[in-house]
Structure 1
């Protein structure tokens, strides 16, 4: 594990390393978003996590590390994104695409920043067990094909619960239904793509998708932070810090770890271990460090408690509520056929219940009603009926995957289902529009979130 001193030095070095992006950032401050004191009101997972938060935040080094990660971007991808004024947006995307497809050594006049970006992604660390990655992808295909289409909306909405972490998404234009659909489909496309055989190998589609996601996040940071802009660092810290990628990238692993702990288990089964390692590698390709990707149920739970326990609670309806409502109202299918409209209505009801149960557990504040995602009378019956079908089908596939004579045929069937999902999601662009990040837009967003 990197020492605290080295981590803090790496955070501070961003200012000198990329002055065009971080030159106006004071890395010595503690932004308002950071809730490092035990008395601070944080986004802790639920009331039952209070004791865990107190235990973890009683350690000064844990708090200091959490603060450092709150102010840490993606140094390698940021350096490449910072070339936008010199190269332009499209050429940067084109060169990265070519480097992923053909190798960076085959990109004519590739800038050093691109070379460093690709080489970093190619240099898999020893703490990743590559022997388990492909097995983990195979394990993930069943929930990806059968469950994910019904929960992706609810899981995406969960990223909008907090104004400090959600504000950059509001600035990208995700408040509109059309943009919400595109962002969700891009996210779903990434996670779905990575579950395919060989997707996370060097020249696989998942490797390329991870590189594009990293570049998109860095472009958001660059567009918001470039010199002269009015982003309020004292309140919000840096936009899209690496630690904010952890909940979305590890939510499936966290829910698995939490389930194990409720059952009194302390270790993963071999299949669960492969699934965890697959998710860790996928997150590492997205730029997350080892410390944010623990390997045990307790470690995974603790990492999420530290994150949620140091993110200050903050909700404003014009940012968080608007993002949630746009996402919940969005129409996902690619056509307006009767079958697609029925699916959209059922999926939306399922996502509404899933979101309330998984992310607003024990909510006594009326947040669901405030956000516009309170349960309607028919949501729970639909959820139960769909749940019987979805989870029953998933269990049947899981059973077939354990039978030697059916295993390969079942896996091929899942791959075909995933391919169809990817066609439905469409081509992921992983882009961000610089025109969204005007001084007036950022100033208005801050005012709404205040």
Structure 2
């Protein structure tokens, strides 16, 4: 049962979903926690023992309440807009949202109230946001986005498929089978890259629009899972694509940084890392995440990540998770079949496998193989051969960007490269098609 001792406003936000969208959430009992969420110490959770101990988290009532509440939270402003699909159709919703992002909501003829509410919520920038710091953080993120992230995005994407309860919405959409798997991986890469471009997160920036489109896509997944798929069991899975499941993707790079700090014996972010955090937190706000899930310290970020895993029931179903991992690893992400693109695909695939093994399997290759990711000797060789170039170029650019005299030149270079990568990935569709949804 949901409590509201520590987060009463968040609990009220959860319960308001039934009032705001009775057609979608009328059958959801928000006082009944789904089977996916467990506080039983005898039940295995998604938090590996090698990552962090589970017992202290289960004993922390405040943390348990936060994760339990956020597990039942969808998107209180985007979901009502997505529910207009019977009236406007998916193309109509997309067209109105894009126009509202680019020209303002008043430019949309007969703009529905639900669209106005979504745009208004995204425009309501929180008082904690430092716009100058957001731009500085984006400048630092562009370096990794252009020089390093493209080689590990697929591996990071795989991390969202390691739990049946969290992965089922994507499995239901059919969005990760065949060619659609490549589209989704490239869309993910495009979103995170696009939102680091100069002024991308401004009101009329490309990142603002991308965030709005991602919110609509997630809300369409919720709508179709609840209304058009008989595989979705509310008692087992709760709310589809809850905010607690979106938090890891939004803050994954900060979690990696936070874990690096711990290994280095540091407790505080540097000025550069603090700027990156500001950008990530603001991007998460635009995506609809509540501030309660957006810590401001390294310890807080580690804690909320581990807490989500500690309360998520462990399960890796080959029919769901295994299929998603396989289709994602099999996807060909390059635009052509030229020798260069084939070679680039092989290198990226090897780096993604390596990132997956180290980041999600604790370096255990056998565990990764059981999940469908086999790190071969050829993969190890490719990473070893290309590391001096990939890591060396990234390190050199990062160091040069700290020098005022070189900062402008470095930023111009990585921005050009980032735009080229975006052109290679193609224009994101940010859509989900109900025709592809699997039925029981």
Q: What range is the shorter-chain TM-score in?
A: over 0.9
Number of the residue aligned with 1:404: 404
Number of the residue aligned with 2:420: 420
Equivalents in 2 of 1:126, 1:3: separation in Å? Answer: 22
1:22 to 19, 22, 25: 25
Query: Shift in Å at residue 37 of structure 1?
Result: 2.6
Query: Shift in Å at residue 228 of structure 1?
Result: 8.3
Number of the residue aligned with 1:448: none
Runs of 4+ in 1 over 4 A off after TM superposition: 227-230
Query: Shift in Å at residue 45 of structure 1?
Result: 4.6
Query: Shift in Å at residue 369 of structure 1?
Result: 1.7
Number of the residue aligned with 2:171: 170
Equivalents in 2 of 1:358, 1:70: separation in Å? Answer: 24
Number of the residue aligned with 2:303: 302
User: Structure 1 stretches of 5 or more lacking a match?
Assistant: 444-450
Does 2:242 correspond to 1:238? Answer: no
Equivalents in 2 of 1:2, 1:123: separation in Å? Answer: 27
1:201-227, Cα deviation, whole Å (9 max, x unpaired): 000000000000000000110111128
Task: Look up the SS of the partner of 1:279 in the other structure.
Answer: helix
Number of the residue aligned with 1:388: 388
Number of the residue aligned with 1:273: 274
The farther-off stretch of 260-269 and 169-178 is 169-178
Native 8 Å contact 2:57 2:310 kept in 1: no
1:314-350, Cα deviation, whole Å (9 max, x unpaired): 0011111111111111111101110000111111111
Q: How does 1:29-44 map to 2 (within 5 A)?
A: 29-44=32-47
1:281-301, Cα deviation, whole Å (9 max, x unpaired): 111100001111101000110
1:58-115, Cα deviation, whole Å (9 max, x unpaired): 0223212211111110010001111111222111111100000001122111111111
Does 2:314 correspond to 1:313? Answer: yes
Number of the residue aligned with 2:142: 141
Native 8 Å contact 1:81 1:222 kept in 2: yes
Equivalents in 1 of 2:297, 2:95: separation in Å? Answer: 39
Equivalents in 1 of 2:87, 2:100: separation in Å? Answer: 19
Equivalents in 2 of 1:128, 1:291: separation in Å? Answer: 15
* TM-score of the superposed pair, with normalisation by structure 1: 0.94
Number of the residue aligned with 1:123: 124
Equivalents in 2 of 1:283, 1:142: separation in Å? Answer: 20
Does 2:363 correspond to 1:357? Answer: no
Q: How does 1:169-208 map to 2 (within 5 A)?
A: 169-208=170-209
Does 2:71 correspond to 1:92? Answer: no
Query: Shift in Å at residue 362 of structure 1?
Result: 5.1
Q: CA RMSD in A?
A: 1.7
Native 8 Å contact 1:20 1:227 kept in 2: no
- Matched residues, number: 437
Equivalents in 2 of 1:360, 1:9: separation in Å? Answer: 37
1:138-188, Cα deviation, whole Å (9 max, x unpaired): 010111001011001100111111111101111111342301100011111
1:18-37, Cα deviation, whole Å (9 max, x unpaired): 11111222222221110223
